[in-house]
Amino acid sequence: MRDELLISKLEFIQESVDLIQEWFQDIKQADDYLATSLGKSHLDATLMRLQSIGETVKKISSEHPSLLKKHGSIEWHEIIRLREIISHHYEQLSHEIIYSICRDNLPALKRAIQAMLAELKGKPD
């Protein structure tokens, strides 16, 4: 039996990653986040989505820990930790770190979420 709530959570993460990657297309270096109002808006929107991804992963972690363990190439605890940092230490965040996360970590997260959704929906990756 399919877990529609879990699928919905994973689809939310997928949508969030897609949006962040769309906004990131205009960002060629970390300082681009600070160079214009649009860059600052993209940074703020990206942070909001990363926070939401972290909150969703936190819920999945408590409800379906074996699913995350199965996809252990992703550092799920770091995603949850980033959510905590965004929530409680927003003013201390570095735009360079967010740039690095978007460039280096989001593609792998997207692939993992796609694989999970394919498994849950009964489709091959």
* pLDDT tens-place string over residues 30-57: 999 999 999 999 999 999 999 999 999 9
CA distance 35 to 31: 6
Residue 13 buriedness (CB in 10 A; 0-12 / 13-18 / 19+): buried
* pLDDT tens-place string over residues 14-36: 999 999 999 999 899 999 999 99
* pLDDT tens-place string over residues 63-111: 999 999 999 899 999 999 999 999 998 788 899 999 999 999 999 999 9
Q: Please state the φ and ψ torsions of residue 97, each to the nearest 5 degrees.
A: -65, -45
- pLDDT score, position 2: 66
Q: Whole-model pTM above 0.85?
A: yes
Sole residue written with tokens 């970590």: 105
- Helix, strand, coil percent content, the chain, rounded in steps of 5: 80, 0, 20
CA distance 63 to 6: 9
Mean pLDDT for 3-24 is: 97
- Model confidence at 1: pLDDT above 60: no
- pLDDT score, position 124: 53
* Both tokens assigned to 53: 């991804």
Q: Taking a C-beta distance cutoff of 8 angstroms, is the pair 74, 108 a contact?
A: yes
CA distance 79 to 50: 8
Q: Write the DSSP assignment of 73-111 as a string of letters.
A: TS-HHHHHHHHHHHHH-GGG--HHHHHHHHHHTHHHHHH
- pLDDT score, position 89: 87
